[in-house]
Structure 1
Amino acid sequence: MDQSSLKGFDCDHHYYEAEDAFIRYMDPAMMQRAMQWVNVNGKKRLMVGGKVNRFIPNPTFDPIARPGCLDDYFRGKVSVTDMRDAFGELESLSDRPEYRNRDAKLDLLTKQNLDGCLLFPTLGVGMESALENDLPALQAAFSAFNRWLAEDWGFSYKDRLFAAPYITLSDVQHAISELEFAIDNNVRVINFRASAVTTADGQKSPADPIFDDFWKRVNDAGITAAFHAGDAAYDFLFAHWGLSTEFEAFRYDPLKRLLNYSNIADTVAALISGGLFNRFPNIRVCTIENGSDWVGGLLRRFSKAYKQAGYAFVEDPVKTFQNHIWVAPYYEDDLMELRELIGVDHILFGSDYPHAEGLASPMDFLDDLSGFSSHEIQQIMYENGRSLVTLNT
């Protein structure tokens, strides 16, 4: 299909956070417990919860990797002995104003043939797990972050840039307060960690009825709930196998890649088996940068569970998934299989631009849609994503 004839809506686009993203609006009393910058051996480092945080190797983002420089690596086409070699030459952040300026980003979207995009954090998706042992600091951090995000990017800037505020459910009243702030600022999509929720009363499923007041407000507002990949605090499973539990981007351990666990599958299982969509049928969920390899296995488990104990579900959980869950696959996933599993109307185009592991040119996602009709390509590349920023009221 000729790229020039099609506009895209990218459901996995990113900014690189300003250095004061968590600090500009931080309660000064919480600064030392949450985020602060320090100098360590002449290098600027981010302290989170009183420890140097390594989720992002260089959270100043200067210099920064070129978009898509790891494409061949993630497609399994090349092998490297040192991940630093795979990145190649880095760029100066000053040469990329679109990474931190929304008007420059809009200009780039136009050049990329993108009508709009969902915008997600780069650093932010690793911070909930880093602070979950200090819930007041966690809540203060994301209250500050969301106000920075509203100021620098906006939640629906010119109906093209849809930045998703980050909501932690660790305290339901705090979550409702953040949600109301987002709604007051014309939010269309909110973002969550794909994992169990750490609360003062222990671990909870995000579908636990204690969160119903929050989800009712989401349901009534008609906004979309996104679960973007990040540090899901699932690394505790690695300790069972004698591996490090610290999350470090781009550090490769073969066993960590091969162990059979999926925080996104478990999160979606919790939402559906917990009856969230039966209580709040207006809620739409999209999973972003989690790929789609997990979908088939989860649907098979749902099907078996429903046959064995149908009384435990209000309806067939496979149908619930197909009605309420949208999936942004990795471009290297089996997209034809995903179409058979959930239908083309719930497949999202996501490029992960401008990350190193994403596509250098977002609309190159089209190259992986051979076998789809022109109408199906239009759905995946534009219509499905655009529909999620239309309020579902």
Structure 2
Amino acid sequence: MTTNTTAAPLFQGAIFDGDTHLYETPDAFSRYLPEKFKKDWSYEWKVGADGEFALYVGHRKIEVSAGYYAEDGRVPPPGKLHEWLRAQKEGKENVDMRVPMTEDMYARDARLAKMDEFGVEGCFLYCGNMVATISYLDEPKAAAAVMHAYNRWMLDDWGFNHKDRIYSAPLVSLDDLDAACAEAEWAIKHGTRLFLMPMGPFGGKPPAHPDFDRFWSILNEAHCRVVYHVSEAIYMKDHMAVWGEPVQQSRQRQTAFVWMHGYSERPVVETISSLIFWNFFARFPNLRVLSAENGAEWVPNMLIKMDKCRGMAKNGYWPGGQLKERPSKIFQRHVSVVAYPEDDLKTIVDQVGSHEWMIMGSDYPHAEGVPAPRDFAEEACKHLVAEQTQGVMHDNGRRFLAPVQS
């Protein structure tokens, strides 16, 4: 008699995945782009003068895209970043660390079937290569046109809310307020529940500045959600410049200093704390925001510092009105965070005192996450109690979409 020694998965329930992506089809950027913008704002994968195969916006090379796709369209295998980087470093030419795209990576119906295979009940879906280009959209009128064209493609191919299972996030920026309001109204009319927005200020003003209230009122009335996904926060370029550190660089050539101070944690901490200190959620109580693919290790320290600084500034200037409760309480009611699988979730949850704000994310089909969503529990939730694991793997994601409880 043989004994089955295969251990059951740590978490066996339905999953809600807070961070998934698509790969764009070849016409994603061109299907709806107005003719007058095509010369300078068309997207194209090509081999440039430097010999690298990369994505270009007009004449500008998207540095982070170089070395990602193969010219035949193959991509790094989902969840295998560490193996992929190690193979590159060791020069193992006999190890093929790119794989053909499968249909679920670029088509909705196939993705639903993949979700069924993975045990994923629902997910938030974000753009693919488009996320690397946001910082290059630096002319407001053109940026609005490019984003709207992309959003129309996303609506065609994925929908904004497909069967209450795939919640796609159209892009919007406040650089052109009139265009942002029009985009919000259009996307909400077509069923969107969430928007993907760049981190940082717009035109020298924080996103919670009253000048933008017209936009936020539209989202508040519709009980929408806002996602701040990791990307290059271009407002950091001036600060990086004083250190002699360039931005918009290849990730393979990016310094540790830029990784630490110009990318991920700092932009999201500044953006979310700005919203809270501007008393944003008192004005727009129906809104919630999500940090995606920025990890969660920064949360405990941010909450401690926000509460401390509220006390230090008690008699200072509060441009949005003085807060009536601790920033940490506002955060836990209105902000959720997608953790990295390598984060120490138990320590973070213990420090914060709750887990309801934390959501899992597989990053599928990107290489940076886990091969399959259930692997997140195996890697990250081993030291959590069952209730906390259930929350992180499913309940907290669903709760993010529910009405805000005062």
List per-residue Cα deviations over 1:229-281 (Å, max 9, x = no partner). 11111244332222332232444423323448711001011111112111111
* 1:14 aligned partner, one-letter code: H
Going from structure 1 to structure 2, the CA distance change for 1:209 and 1:45 (only over 3 Å counts) comes to same
**Equivalent residue number for residue 388 of structure 1:** 400
Counterparts of 1:226-305 in structure 2 under 5 Å?
Answer: 226-233=227-234, 234-259=236-261, 262-305=266-309
Aligned-residue identity in percent: 30
Q: Following TM superposition, by how much is the alpha carbon of 1:92 offset from its aligned partner in structure 2, in angstroms?
A: 1.8
**Equivalent residue number for residue 64 of structure 2:** 55
Going from structure 1 to structure 2, the CA distance change for 1:21 and 1:342 (only over 3 Å counts) comes to farther
How many pairs are equivalent?
383
Whether 1:179 aligns to 2:184 is yes
Whether 1:373 aligns to 2:385 is yes
Q: Following TM superposition, by how much is the alpha carbon of 1:334 offset from its aligned partner in structure 2, in angstroms?
A: 1.9
Q: Following TM superposition, by how much is the alpha carbon of 1:35 offset from its aligned partner in structure 2, in angstroms?
A: 2.1
TM-score, reference length from structure 2: 0.86
Distance (Å, rounded) in 2 between the aligned partners of 1:119 and 1:61:
25
Distance (Å, rounded) in 2 between the aligned partners of 1:61 and 1:209:
48
Q: Following TM superposition, by how much is the alpha carbon of 1:390 offset from its aligned partner in structure 2, in angstroms?
A: 4.1
Distance (Å, rounded) in 1 between the aligned partners of 2:206 and 2:307:
21
Going from structure 1 to structure 2, the CA distance change for 1:227 and 1:384 (only over 3 Å counts) comes to same
2:44 to 37, 48, 51: 37
Q: Following TM superposition, by how much is the alpha carbon of 1:296 offset from its aligned partner in structure 2, in angstroms?
A: 2.4
Q: Please tell me whether the aligned partners of residues 192 and 226 of structure 1 are also in contact (alpha carbons under 8 angstroms).
A: yes
- Helix, strand or coil: the match of 1:345? coil
**Equivalent residue number for residue 356 of structure 1:** 367
Distance (Å, rounded) in 1 between the aligned partners of 2:126 and 2:181:
20
Distance (Å, rounded) in 2 between the aligned partners of 1:168 and 1:49:
20
Going from structure 1 to structure 2, the CA distance change for 1:164 and 1:250 (only over 3 Å counts) comes to farther
Distance (Å, rounded) in 1 between the aligned partners of 2:273 and 2:304:
12
* 1:170 aligned partner, one-letter code: D
Whether 1:89 aligns to 2:97 is yes
Whether 1:319 aligns to 2:329 is yes
Q: Following TM superposition, by how much is the alpha carbon of 1:15 offset from its aligned partner in structure 2, in angstroms?
A: 0.6
- Helix, strand or coil: the match of 2:227? strand
Aligned-residue Cα RMSD (Å) equals: 2.7
- Helix, strand or coil: the match of 2:374? helix
Deviates further, 122-131 or 21-30: 122-131
Distance (Å, rounded) in 2 between the aligned partners of 1:83 and 1:52:
26
Q: Following TM superposition, by how much is the alpha carbon of 1:148 offset from its aligned partner in structure 2, in angstroms?
A: 0.4
Structure 1 unaligned spans of 5+: none
**Equivalent residue number for residue 340 of structure 2:** 330
Deviates further, 37-46 or 376-385: 37-46
* 2:339 aligned partner, one-letter code: P
* 1:290 aligned partner, one-letter code: N
* 1:379 aligned partner, one-letter code: G
Distance (Å, rounded) in 2 between the aligned partners of 1:114 and 1:194:
28
* 1:68 aligned partner, one-letter code: G
2:78 to 67, 86, 92: 67
Q: Please tell me whether the aligned partners of residues 331 and 365 of structure 1 are also in contact (alpha carbons under 8 angstroms).
A: yes
2:24 to 17, 29, 46: 17
Structure with greater Cα Rg: 2
Going from structure 1 to structure 2, the CA distance change for 1:297 and 1:187 (only over 3 Å counts) comes to same
Distance (Å, rounded) in 1 between the aligned partners of 2:249 and 2:198:
14
List per-residue Cα deviations over 1:176-209 (Å, max 9, x = no partner). 1111111111111111112222xxxx32211111
* 1:389 aligned partner, one-letter code: L
- Helix, strand or coil: the match of 2:184? helix
